[in-house]
Copies of this chain bind each other. A is one copy, B any other.
Amino acid sequence: MTEVLAIGSFSDVDAAALRDDLGARIVDSLDSAAALHEETRATVRAIAFKGHATFDGALMDLFPALGLIANYGVGYDAIKVADAQTRSVAVTNTPDVLNDDVADLAVGMLIAQCRRMVQGDDHARSGAWADGQEFPLNRKMSGGRVGILGLGRIGREIADRLAAFKMELHYWSRGEKQTPGWTYHDDPVALANAVDYLVVALVGGPETEGMVSAEVLDALGENGVLVNISRGSTVDEVALIDRLEDGRLAGAALDVFRSEPGIDPRFAALDNVVLQPHQGSGTHVTRAAMGQLQRDNIAVFMAGRPLLTQVA
């Protein structure tokens, strides 16, 4: 009897723990889950979910005994939470354990964009430097003006780090927050107008869809650099690429994309962007902690105890 179903591409370590600790059956996709025999689906009480495909009410209805979807990752925008709520299905995520890694990568991407570090590595490695070619001067980051779009837990970690680079901190959030003197802006365009660097740390989902609009990018302007470690959905990507190509925006550093992993091929031709393969939380330590927290939520649910990190 399958009480716990795991859906997605899990690491060997996580897959073994799902089987050993929770007796989980593992399938690779929502389609495979939907194709399970009706009798198998009928007994599933908890689903460990990993992925970005949409998990909606029609799929939930295939599991009549379902009480929990435990998401792997802090962003749970793939799961239709309203659908879950009407079906009394709880949803958990894996917050906080990944904040440091995502913030580290955001800062590293901003430095790499300003200092052209990917090009620098190639200059040294290819022999261009040894051949006497000059590496062009680039851009000072410390002391600049930076805006954090979305001052949640990850945004705060990014801001704390950038403050140590003597940067002038600005932010937008759904409401003003207690900060050490950072400047609040009540709309994203005003924020973009005030800064040289804009770091997107929003949640995903319909509320933030396209929030980094053409207007925001134009406010950021020709000296502006966009950093996105949140979700590709937050950015008008066509407007972004247009501006990166023609110089209306100075540069970008992106860990997330609209159509990842099949990213727009125009990105690959740009010299003023740092690209990363959605690896914000991609360290051994953090991915292990995320898997553990996902399983812990399922374990307490099965034991009838309170969920650890419930989002709906």
Instruction: Check A139/B275 contact, CB under 8 A, given A111-B107, A127-B268, A261-B130.
Output: no
CB neighbours (8 Å) of A160 from chain B are: 164
In A237-276, the 8 Å CB interface with B consists of 260-263, 267-268, 274-276
Residue of B with least CB distance to A261: B129
- A10 to chain B minimum Cβ distance, whole angstroms, is 12
A-B contact pairs, 23 of them (CB 8 A): A100-B140, A100-B143, A101-B142, A103-B142, A108-B111, A108-B112, A108-B115, A114-B283, A115-B283, A117-B117, A118-B118, A124-B268, A124-B277, A125-B268, A129-B261, A129-B277, A132-B261, A135-B282, A137-B283, A139-B284, A161-B165, A163-B164, A164-B164
Q: How far is the CB of A275 from chain B (nearest CB, A)?
A: 4
B111 near A277 (CB under 8 angstroms)?
Answer: no
Chain B residues contacting A114 (CB-CB under 8 Å) are: 104, 283
Task: Report whether A276 and B117 are in contact in the complex, using a CB–CB cutoff of 8 Å.
Answer: yes
Residues of B within 8 A of A120 (CB): 275-277, 279
Interchain CB contact under 8 A, A279 and B138: yes
- Are B275 and A125 neighbours in the complex by a CB distance under 8 Å? yes
Closest 6 CB pairs of A and B: A108-B111, A164-B164, A100-B142, A124-B275, A140-B283, A129-B277
A→B interface (CB under 8 Å)? 100-101, 103-105, 107-109, 111-112, 114-115, 117-118, 120-121, 123-127, 129-130, 132, 135, 137-143, 160-161, 163-166, 260-263, 267-268, 274-277, 279, 282-287
Give the distance to chain B from A69, nearest Cβ to Cβ, in Å: 24
* Interfacial chain B residues near A121, Cβ < 8 Å: 118, 274-276
CB distance from A235 to the nearest CB of B (A): 15
Contacts A107-B111, A161-B164, A261-B130; A138 near B283 (Cβ below 8 A): yes
A283 to chain B, nearest CB (A): 4
Evaluate contact between B166 and A100: CB separation under 8 angstroms.
yes
Residues of B within 8 A of A109 (CB): 117
Residues of B within 8 A of A267 (CB): 124-125
Alpha-carbon distance between A248 and B34 when the two chains are bound, in angstroms: 49
A284 touches B137 (CB 8 A): yes
A104 touches B165 (CB 8 A): yes
Could you tell me the distance between the alpha carbons of A166 and B157 in the complex, rounded to whole angstroms? 10
The listed residue (B129, B138, B260) touching A129 by CB distance below 8 A is B260
Query: Is A115 within 8 A of B165, CB to CB?
Result: no
Could you tell me the distance between the alpha carbons of A188 and B169 in the complex, rounded to whole angstroms?
37
Of the candidates B103, B112, B263, the one whose C-beta lies within 8 Å of that of A117 is: B112
A163, B160: Cα distance in complex, Å? 10
Partner of A108 from the list B117, B126, B140, B275 (CB cut-off 8 Å) is B117
Chain B residues with CB below 8 A from A100, complex form: 140, 142-143, 165-166
